[in-house]
Amino acid sequence: MSRGSFPRIPRSPGGSRTPLLLAVAAVVPAGFLGWLLWDASGGPADDGKRPAAAAASSAPPSAHRVSPSPQPRASAPGQPSPSAPEAEGTPSADGPLKGKVVVVDPGHNIHNSEHTAEIDRSVDIGTGRKECDTTGTSTDAGYAEATFSLDVSHRLRRILQAQGATVRLTHDGDRPFGPCVDERAEIGNKAHADAAVSVHADGAAVGDRGFHVILPAAVKGGRADTGPIAGPSKELGARIAGNFVRTTGSAPSNYIGGGTGLDTRSDLGGLNLSTIPKVFIECGNMRDPQDAALLTDPTWREKAAQGIANGIADFLRR
């Protein structure tokens, strides 16, 4: 996720977090799943520290994840996901997520660069003002973050709908630009969604690798008050991170989050203005060649969508 131009200068991790052993994670991703998959009775810690995790799950991986839906025909980089034609709001008649509403927010918009004046105007994000939206980043070969995020969002929608969830996208590539960050939050709020996820890829330095999930900080000001959603959002983010590790094999970020795969921020209007549990996921670094090879691979993007879906399902079925 770019903040207007790329490459983005990596931000130092904030707050106190317990590092994850990345060396172990790189060899046996499932070995550290217990750190991220919370015990159903644990919940968010009142002191803001990492909640107790299941030390080691005795259940097979399938016990924690949604059954994968049939794999779609792979699409080439830069092409729409094969699942894109499926309509929003048409969940299967039955399934474990029946009655649940999920908002999926594809980061940026491929047309933002054609509307710089519109996306540069500032909007209120509670802690101040920030640009309406940004162009996002891209790989060195020109594969845009906005294309990536929409593709993964289409895949995520299909997987969740197959489980019975009602899914709404904040946009489907059908707008001239945006939506602005405050409108993205408002779409989830008005839908009274049970969870929302904003899909992104980062634009950091070469050698910065891995994914991280961004959680809302405690923010109160103007229209922003994340007090009621900070705890549930933290749980949602932890469950997504744990499932993302296991499904994709990717390690948590080596440059943000202190090895935890989690980062807390107060400068994102899409989180500050949300009244429902919401997180962002940066699926990898588009400016690093190794991460870029994954992000442009349709097979890996399907795994990424599955991992996010599994985490959402874990959260909604807790």
Instruction: Report the distance separating Cα 10 and Cα 63, nearest Å.
Output: 36
Q: DSSP character for 29?
A: G
Concerning whether 282 is annotated as a catalytic residue, the answer is yes
Instruction: Report the distance separating Cα 91 and Cα 94, nearest Å.
Output: 8
Contact (CB, 8 A) for 108 and 175:
no
Other beta carbons within 10 Å of 23: 8
Active-site choice (145, 235, 282, 302)? 282
Instruction: Report the distance separating Cα 108 and Cα 208, nearest Å.
Output: 22
Contact (CB, 8 A) for 279 and 240:
yes
Contact (CB, 8 A) for 138 and 126:
no
User: Residue 289, preceding bond cis, omega within 30 degrees?
Assistant: no
Which residue is associated with the tokens 């602005």? 180
The catalytic site residues sit at: 282
